[in-house]
Structure 1
Amino acid sequence: MSEHQRKSWFGRNWLWFVPLTGCMSIIVLFVLGIGAAFFGVSKMLTESEPVEYAIALANKNEAVAQYLGTPVTKDGLPQGNISYSNDDGKIDVKIPVNGSKDEGYLIVKGIKNDGIWIYEEIYILIKENQQVINLLEKEKVLEQL
C-alpha cells in the first residue's frame, strides 16, 4: 500500500499567503513611516524655542491665569509652519492649550534673523468666549519707554 502524505498548511496555501504578507508588510512599514514623520514634525513644532517662550509668557500673564487657569500646558496637535535655515527662520503656529479652568489656542508668529527671534504676534485665544489675550503687550510698552 502506498502512503499519501498530506501537505502542511503552508504547503497548501503559500500561493496566496506569501504575496499577502508581503503586501501587508509594505503597508505596515508605510503607516509606521508616516506616523514617525508626523510625530517628528509635531514634536518639532511644540518643542521649538518660540513655543516654549510663548508658554512661559502665558504662565506669567494674569489675564491668562484668570481665564484659563494655571498652569497653561500644550494640549493637542499643532497647526502651522516652522522653518529653519542656518540662523534664520520663520514660525506661524496655532497650538491647543489648556489650564485648570478652560481651553484655548496659543498663536505664535515671528521671524528669526541672525539667530534672534523677533515675535510679530503671541497671543492666547480663549475657546469659550473668543477673548484674545495679547502676550506681547507689556513687552511693547517696555520697549517704548
Structure 2
Amino acid sequence: MSTTEHKSWFARNWGWAVPLGGCLTIIVLFVIFLGSVIFGVSEIMTESVPYKDAIEKANEDDYVLKILGAPIETNGIMGGSISYENNNGSADISIPIKGSKAEAQLYVTGTKQNGVWEYTEMYIIIDETDEQIDLLGYEQNESNNQDQW
C-alpha cells in the first residue's frame, strides 16, 4: 500500500493567489487612504466658522424649523471650498441638512477680512419643494438700506 503525498492548497494555487492577494491589498490600502482624506477634509470643514454659523442660523430660524422640523443636523458630505490665508479667507460651501420632517441643502458664501466673517449668501433650498429660504434676511436688507442713505 503506497501513500501519495498531496500538495497543500497554497502549493497548488500560488500562481494566481499571490498576484490576486497583492492586488487586493493595494485596493484595500487605497480605499483606506481615500476614506481618511475624505474624513479629514470633512472634519476641517465642519470645524470652520462659516459651517458653524450657518447651522446655528438654520436652528434659530422659526420658519426653517417649522418646515424641516427640529433639530436640524447635517445629512451627508459637504461640498465646496474654504480657504484661509493669514486673517483673510473665503468660503463657498453647501451642506446637506435634515430635520425631523424634511431634508434640504444649506448654502453659504462669504469672505473673511481681518479675522471677521461677512456672508454674502446664506440660504436653504428645501429638497421636496425647491423653496429657497434666505437666512440673512432682514440683516442683509438693513445693511443695504444703510448704504443707500
Task: Give the alignment's TM-score, normalised by structure 2.
Answer: 0.82
User: Residue by residue, what CA displacement relative to the aligned partner does 1:65-119 show, whole Å, maximum 9, x if unpaired?
Assistant: 2222222111122221222233322211111111222221111001122322121
Instruction: Say if 2:115 is the partner of 1:118.
Output: no
Aligned equivalents of 1:34 and 1:65: distance in 2? 35
Q: What does 1:81-96 correspond to in 2, within 5 Å?
A: 81-96=81-96
Uncovered stretches (5+) of structure 2, i.e. residues with no partner? none
Identify if the C-alpha distance between structure 1 residues 6 and 106 changes in structure 2 by more than 3 Å, giving closer, same or farther. Answer: same
CA offset at residue 130 of structure 1? 2.1
Aligned equivalents of 1:2 and 1:70: distance in 2? 79
Name the residue aligned to 1:18.
18
Contact 1:46-1:95 within 8 A present in 2 as well = no
Uncovered stretches (5+) of structure 1, i.e. residues with no partner? none
Percent pairwise identity: 48
Q: Which letter does structure 2 place at the counterpart of 1:140?
A: Q
Name the residue aligned to 1:49.
49
Aligned equivalents of 1:100 and 1:2: distance in 2? 75
Identify if the C-alpha distance between structure 1 residues 109 and 8 changes in structure 2 by more than 3 Å, giving closer, same or farther. Answer: same
Where 1:39 maps in the other structure, the secondary structure is helix
Name the residue aligned to 1:79.
79
User: Residue by residue, what CA displacement relative to the aligned partner does 1:37-67 show, whole Å, maximum 9, x if unpaired?
Assistant: 1222223333322111111111111221222
Aligned equivalents of 1:2 and 1:129: distance in 2? 80
Q: Which letter does structure 2 place at the counterpart of 1:137?
A: G
| Equivalenced residues, count | 145
Specify which structure has the bigger relative contact order, considering alpha-carbon pairs within 8 angstroms and separated by 6 or more residues.
Answer: 1
